[in-house]
């Protein structure tokens, strides 16, 4: 990739006109890397990213023309397409205006938005414009202290689930965890929708849609249709259940069995399925994916546009399948509602927190239905750092920040609502993405990209408003290289940051000792590990080194990795000694350490308390490692009967009992 504009850049000088143009679109021309060293972005990378905004910056003449438009917009007195204002603050408009409130009433406000406007989605109307106004809470309520589980739902299994964990297992864990273990919160891996075609996408962090749920987690036998079915139909349904006890989860077998069973049951569901426009589009995508494959980019050209006459014709021809996929979403909504209700009735003070992935599959339902707000040819990832020297490519298309604002942030609002309709909280994966995302231009490797900035005030405000309306808590995953403003803003707005024992180190001190949990951030959700890191037993036994060495993923000799792992283990044992915690059973000792954290929420995982060595996901791998396919070594019943579990969570119960 090359452009004449890039020729103007010397090694240390960036063309000022291109820099001005990039700044207008939030495209970074430099950034600070993980070692706090400033990195200059290559001019041709900036040009390629600007092209994703439909801005031609390939020549000096094109840059001048684009800048003329930008400067003209700056001189304009027009209001921005969306206003996001914290409740209790005034906002100058510079002209007389009327506010159309969400409840249908109107207020004349003059040239200034008053501080007493109610929370909600409104509109500001002037003589020239009608723009979206979101009045958002300045701060969310404090989160009550609690301990709980980080669950990989697919890894659960019971006598009633078919080959992988399901919503029925989740409901059981919610109720029994509160009743028997005093747990107050459950964090669940993303359960957003996949494309209903083989091979089934295994990663919960690459969903087809973030607005709808994944029917692979349905418990077929908990549906009203199964209850109403005749004995012969029930027997046929039960005969479809896949064999239990496989070493790895077979997503394709599970989905085939559940799809076939639900097709048998559909005639026994007595109620019609209501399809609003969004659900109709999603269900249409599902019907088309069954015929043409999971990725719409490979469909016949006429079917790639959801508004085309060909799609309308196909929707009529596939009406039964469209209705079927709509019904599956209705079932998901019912069963997820049952999970939430079980947690509340059992007395959980926080409840069920669902995980929101950072993006969607580039060929999935969301990019098909709402492609206008996506930068479809860009992949999101991360710049090079110490652990990933080539950078990371997550193969997720980002939203265009300009199109989000033009759409009144409705696409983001709808994603948050889609999760919170059945949740007591939301964990936002890579929450720094509300501030900026690493965009990788077409044809470039992961490390050759740049950051694109979003309106964080608007994004955080929308998140806070929807959480407030749902009575939900917000947790942001802010691990890794994250600007200080991200964590500071979250905590100021009543949102919890993330604290993970493995990363709680005094990086400036000799030997990088672990930080005492009493010094961890109070406004945080704390844990020993995460799904992308070694389990407790795996870390203690250097399993993560052994696995990566065996797969050829180390960039230095294995002996050095083992030596570092041993040094980290010694540093952790030193912390236990300093805290006066006996180190006989290190799993129990580490949970005792976690229980002493200053953080409001402390979470552990079934994999950690049952001694599982293999971590759920090994970043940097695809088929080399069984990511997202490893079942727990115990059943749901076995989890609650296991003495190791009771011993490990005992200090957590004692430190944060149910109210």
Is the pLDDT at 1 greater than 70, yes or no? Answer: no
| pLDDT digits 0-9 by tens, 547-578 | 999 998 887 899 999 999 999 999 999 999 99
Segment 141-168 shows an average pLDDT of 97
Domain boundary (445, 465, 494) is at: 494
Crossing angle of helices 251-265 and 231-238, rounded to 10°: 170
Of residues 332 and 388, the one with the higher pLDDT is 332
> Considering the domain boundaries, does residue 269 fall inside one?
yes
Segment 347-366 shows an average pLDDT of 97
Contact indicator for 164, 251 with CB cutoff of 8 Å: yes
> Distances in Å between the alpha carbon of 159 and those of 154, 178, 241, 547, 631?
14, 21, 11, 32, 14
- Nearest alpha-carbon partner for 80 in 409, 356, 337, 553: 409
Phi, psi of 380 (to 5 degrees): -90, 145
Question: What pLDDT is recorded for position 2?
Answer: 43
Segment 480-488 shows an average pLDDT of 90
- Nearest alpha-carbon partner for 155 in 249, 243, 256, 251: 249
Q: How confident is the model at residue 509 (pLDDT cuts 50, 70, 90)?
A: confident
Q: Which of 181-195, 371-385, 451-465 is least confident?
A: 371-385
* Parallel/antiparallel/unpaired status of strands 30-32 and 38-40: antiparallel
The C-alpha atoms of residue 300 and residue 536 are separated, in whole angstroms, by: 48
Crossing angle of helices 643-655 and 586-595, rounded to 10°: 20
Contact indicator for 46, 57 with CB cutoff of 8 Å: yes
The C-alpha atoms of residue 640 and residue 267 are separated, in whole angstroms, by: 38
Give the ranges where 520-578 is alpha helix by DSSP (H).
536-540, 543-550, 558-578
Q: Is the dihedral of CA 478, 484, 490, 491 positive or negative?
A: positive
> Distances in Å between the alpha carbon of 328 and those of 202, 225, 343, 615?
19, 12, 23, 31
Q: How confident is the model at residue 539 (pLDDT cuts 50, 70, 90)?
A: very high
> Considering the domain boundaries, does residue 551 fall inside one?
no
The C-alpha atoms of residue 497 and residue 475 are separated, in whole angstroms, by: 6
127, 208: one domain? no
54, 104: one domain? no
161, 183: one domain? yes
Burial of 138 (0-12, 13-18, 19+ CB in 10 A): middle
The C-alpha atoms of residue 515 and residue 538 are separated, in whole angstroms, by: 21
| pLDDT digits 0-9 by tens, 169-190 | 999 999 999 999 999 999 999 9
DSSP state of 215: G
> Considering the domain boundaries, does residue 627 fall inside one?
no
The C-alpha atoms of residue 169 and residue 159 are separated, in whole angstroms, by: 10
Burial of 546 (0-12, 13-18, 19+ CB in 10 A): middle
> Considering the domain boundaries, does residue 558 fall inside one?
no
pTM above 0.75, yes or no: yes
Within 10 angstroms of residue 137's Cβ, the number of other Cβ atoms is 18
- Nearest alpha-carbon partner for 20 in 79, 66, 62: 66
The C-alpha atoms of residue 360 and residue 206 are separated, in whole angstroms, by: 5
320, 282: one domain? yes
Question: What pLDDT is recorded for position 299?
Answer: 98
Segment 489-507 shows an average pLDDT of 93
Contact indicator for 515, 506 with CB cutoff of 8 Å: yes
324, 239: one domain? yes
Phi, psi of 104 (to 5 degrees): 95, -10
Is the pLDDT at 214 greater than 70, yes or no? Answer: yes
Tokens of residue 176, six digits: 């029994």
Is the pLDDT at 592 greater than 50, yes or no? Answer: yes
Is the pLDDT at 216 greater than 80, yes or no? Answer: yes
Question: What pLDDT is recorded for position 180?
Answer: 97
316, 376: one domain? no
> Considering the domain boundaries, does residue 282 fall inside one?
yes
| pLDDT digits 0-9 by tens, 282-324 | 999 999 999 999 999 999 999 999 999 999 999 999 999 999 9
Segment 499-528 shows an average pLDDT of 90
107, 150: one domain? no
Question: What pLDDT is recorded for position 45?
Answer: 96
> Considering the domain boundaries, does residue 599 fall inside one?
no
Question: What pLDDT is recorded for position 13?
Answer: 65
Of residues 553 and 633, the one with the higher pLDDT is 633
Is the pLDDT at 8 greater than 80, yes or no? Answer: no
Contact indicator for 178, 186 with CB cutoff of 8 Å: no
Tokens of residue 256, six digits: 């085939």
> Distances in Å between the alpha carbon of 35 and those of 38, 111, 385, 481?
9, 47, 8, 9
Burial of 577 (0-12, 13-18, 19+ CB in 10 A): exposed
| pLDDT digits 0-9 by tens, 593-628 | 999 999 999 999 999 999 999 999 998 788 899 999
| pLDDT digits 0-9 by tens, 251-293 | 999 999 999 999 999 999 988 899 999 999 999 999 999 999 9
The C-alpha atoms of residue 597 and residue 604 are separated, in whole angstroms, by: 13
Domain boundary (494, 516, 537) is at: 494
Kindly tell me the number of DSSP H helices and DSSP E strands found in the chain.
23, 21
| pLDDT digits 0-9 by tens, 73-122 | 888 889 999 999 999 999 999 999 999 999 999 999 999 999 999 999 99
Domain boundary (136, 157, 172) is at: 136
87, 64: one domain? no
Segment 423-443 shows an average pLDDT of 97
In percent, the amount of the chain with pLDDT more than 90 equals 89
- Nearest alpha-carbon partner for 214 in 223, 198, 202, 224: 202
Question: What pLDDT is recorded for position 386?
Answer: 65
Q: Could you identify the residue written with the tokens 């089934």? A: 200
End-to-end CA distance of the chain, in Å? 61
> Considering the domain boundaries, does residue 141 fall inside one?
no
Segment 628-640 shows an average pLDDT of 97
Burial of 73 (0-12, 13-18, 19+ CB in 10 A): exposed
Q: How far is CA 244 from the centre of its chain?
A: 30
The C-alpha atoms of residue 114 and residue 112 are separated, in whole angstroms, by: 6
Name the residue range of residue 94's domain: 82-136
Tokens of residue 339, six digits: 């999970």
273, 251: one domain? yes
Is the pLDDT at 10 greater than 60, yes or no? Answer: no
Is the pLDDT at 246 greater than 80, yes or no? Answer: yes
Q: Could you identify the residue written with the tokens 């005749």? A: 230
> Considering the domain boundaries, does residue 645 fall inside one?
no
163, 271: one domain? yes
Phi, psi of 571 (to 5 degrees): -65, -35
Question: What pLDDT is recorded for position 220?
Answer: 98
How many separate domains does the chain show? 4
| pLDDT digits 0-9 by tens, 386-425 | 666 678 899 999 999 999 999 999 999 999 999 999 999 9
Tokens of residue 649, six digits: 């969570």
121, 150: one domain? no
277-304: string of b/e by CB count within 10 Å (b at 16+)? Answer: eebbbbbbbbbbbbebebbbeebeeebb
- The CATH number assigned to the domain holding 243 equals 3.20.20.80
Is the pLDDT at 36 greater than 90, yes or no? Answer: no
Question: What pLDDT is recorded for position 4?
Answer: 41
99, 127: one domain? yes
Q: How far is CA 239 from the centre of its chain?
A: 36
Burial of 655 (0-12, 13-18, 19+ CB in 10 A): middle
Is the pLDDT at 5 greater than 70, yes or no? Answer: no
């Amino acid at each position: 990739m090359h452009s004449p504009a890039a020729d103007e850049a010397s090694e240390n000088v960036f063309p000022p006109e291109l820099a001005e143009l990039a700044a207008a679109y939030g495209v970074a021309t430099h950034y600070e890397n993980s070692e706090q060293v400033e990195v200059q972005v290559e001019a041709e990378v900036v040009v390629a990213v600007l092209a994703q905004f439909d801005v031609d910056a390939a020549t000096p003449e094109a840059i001048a023309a684009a800048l003329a438009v930008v400067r003209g917009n700056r001189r304009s007195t027009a209001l921005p397409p969306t206003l996001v204002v914290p409740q209790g603050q005034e906002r100058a408009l510079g002209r007389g205006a009327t506010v159309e409130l969400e409840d249908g009433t109107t207020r004349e406000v003059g040239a200034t938005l008053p501080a007493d406007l109610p929370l909600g989605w409104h509109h500001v109307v002037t003589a020239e414009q009608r723009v979206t106004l979101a009045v958002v809470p300045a701060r969310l309520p404090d989160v009550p202290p609690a301990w709980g589980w980080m669950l990989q739902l697919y890894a659960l299994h019971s006598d009633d689930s078919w080959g992988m964990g399901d919503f029925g297992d989740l409901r059981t864990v919610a109720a029994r965890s509160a009743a028997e273990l005093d747990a107050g919160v459950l964090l669940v891996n993303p359960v957003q929708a996949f494309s209903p075609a083989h091979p089934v996408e295994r990663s919960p962090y690459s969903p087809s849609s973030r607005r709808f749920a994944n029917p692979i987690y349905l418990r077929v036998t908990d549906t009203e249709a199964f209850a109403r079915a005749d004995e012969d139909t029930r027997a046929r349904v039960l005969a479809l259940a896949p064999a239990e006890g496989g070493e790895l989860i077979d997503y394709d077998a599970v989905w085939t069995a559940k799809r076939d069973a639900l097709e048998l049951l559909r005639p026994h569901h007595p109620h019609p399925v209501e399809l609003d426009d969004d659900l109709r589009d999603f269900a249409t995508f599902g019907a088309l994916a069954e015929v043409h494959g999971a990725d719409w980019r490979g469909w016949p050209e006429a079917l790639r546009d959801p508004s085309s006459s060909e799609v309308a014709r196909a929707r009529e021809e596939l009406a039964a399948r469209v209705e079927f996929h709509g019904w599956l979403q209705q079932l998901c909504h019912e069963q997820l509602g049952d999970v939430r209700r079980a947690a509340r009735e059992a007395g959980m003070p926080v409840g069920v927190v669902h995980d929101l992935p950072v993006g969607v599959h580039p060929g999935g339902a969301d990019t098909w239905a709402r492609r206008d707000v996506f930068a479809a040819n860009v992949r999101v990832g991360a710049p090079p750092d110490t652990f990933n020297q080539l950078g990371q490519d997550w193969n997720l298309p980002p939203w265009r920040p300009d199109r989000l604002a033009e759409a009144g942030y409705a696409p983001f609002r709808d994603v948050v609502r889609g999760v919170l309709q059945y949740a007591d909280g939301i964990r936002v994966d890579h929450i720094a993405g509300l501030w900026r995302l690493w965009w990788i231009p077409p044809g470039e490797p992961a490390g050759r990209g740049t950051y694109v900035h979003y309106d964080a005030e608007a994004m955080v405000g929308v998140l806070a408003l929807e959480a407030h309306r749902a009575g939900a808590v917000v947790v942001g995953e802010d691990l890794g290289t994250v600007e200080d403003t991200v964590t500071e803003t979250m905590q100021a707005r009543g949102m919890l940051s993330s604290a993970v024992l493995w990363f709680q180190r005094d990086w400036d001190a000799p030997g990088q000792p672990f930080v005492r949990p009493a010094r961890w951030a109070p406004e945080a959700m704390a844990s020993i590990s995460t799904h992308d890191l070694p389990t407790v037993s795996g870390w203690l036994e250097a399993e993560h080194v052994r696995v990566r060495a065996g797969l050829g993923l180390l960039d230095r000799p294995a002996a050095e990795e083992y030596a570092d792992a041993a040094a980290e283990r010694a540093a952790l044992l030193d912390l236990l000694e300093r805290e006066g915690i006996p180190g006989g059973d290190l799993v129990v000792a580490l949970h005792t350490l976690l229980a002493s954290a200053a953080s409001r929420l402390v979470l552990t995982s079934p994999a950690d308390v049952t001694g599982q060595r293999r971590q759920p996901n090994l970043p940097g791998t695809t088929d080399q490692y069984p990511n997202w396919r490893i079942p727990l070594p115990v059943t749901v019943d076995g989890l609650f009967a296991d003495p190791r579990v009771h011993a490990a969570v005992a200090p957590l119960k004692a430190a944060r009992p149910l109210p």
